[in-house]
């Protein structure tokens, strides 16, 4: 039985998530995009996953570098989420932003709730996406309130 694309998207959009920006670096090239398809995989050893569209520039950079960092956005970073999702000025997403560099070399954004620095240990070809499983090399977290996303709209949770 085939599933209508619109029905599938509508059902998926009802799943409330946090919002991350997944970044990577290869040599002196950095890039990143907004990603909600992020999840924990294993506590011991520490593993996480992100799903990247095969047509995205970020997928190409992760495939090349074998590293990525998950920047978990805070409630006041909705504009950053939109910036890193937009194809307009996609090569200028980091312009004006202060970043730090993770151990893997991936850029870390400031003002986030948490950051998870990863080295790719598996890449599963899955339809129009690739599931990247990352071995966690370093973590950073704060008590900031996270940004949430559901049915195409942003929300927040907790006090800042």
**Footprint of ligand FMN (CB under 6 A):** 19, 33-37, 51-53, 56-58, 81, 85, 87, 90, 149
Which DSSP category does 74 fall into? B
Nearest approach, Cβ of residue 25 and ligand FMN (Å): 13
Nearest approach, Cβ of residue 19 and ligand FMN (Å): 5
Q: Where are the alpha helices (DSSP H) in the chain?
A: 5-13, 57-65, 78-83
Question: Residue with the closest Cβ to ligand FMN?
Answer: 37
Nearest approach, Cβ of residue 156 and ligand FMN (Å): 14
Burial 46-73 (b: 16+ CB within 10 A, else e): ebbbbbbeeebbbbebbbebbbbbbbbb
What CA–CA distance (Å, rounded) separates 143 from 114?
A: 9
Give whichever of 1 and 14 is closer to ligand FMN, judged by the CB atom. Answer: 14
Give whichever of 37 and 47 is closer to ligand FMN, judged by the CB atom. Answer: 37
């Amino acid at each position: 039985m085939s599933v209508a694309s619109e029905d599938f998207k509508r059902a998926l959009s009802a799943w409330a998530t946090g919002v991350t920006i997944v970044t990577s670096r290869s040599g002196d090239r950095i890039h990143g995009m907004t990603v909600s398809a992020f999840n924990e995989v294993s506590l011991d050893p520490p593993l996480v996953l992100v799903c990247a569209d095969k047509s995205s520039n970020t997928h190409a950079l992760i495939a090349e570098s074998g590293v990525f960092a998950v920047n978990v956005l805070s409630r006041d970073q909705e504009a950053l989420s939109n910036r890193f999702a937009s194809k307009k000025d996609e090569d200028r997403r980091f312009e004006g932003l202060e970043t730090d560099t993770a151990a893997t070399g991936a850029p870390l954004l400031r003002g986030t709730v948490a950051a998870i620095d990863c080295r790719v240990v598996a890449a599963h070809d899955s339809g129009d996406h690739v599931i990247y499983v990352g071995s966690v090399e370093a973590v950073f977290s704060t008590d900031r309130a996270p940004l949430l996303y559901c049915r195409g709209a942003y929300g927040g949770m907790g006090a800042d």
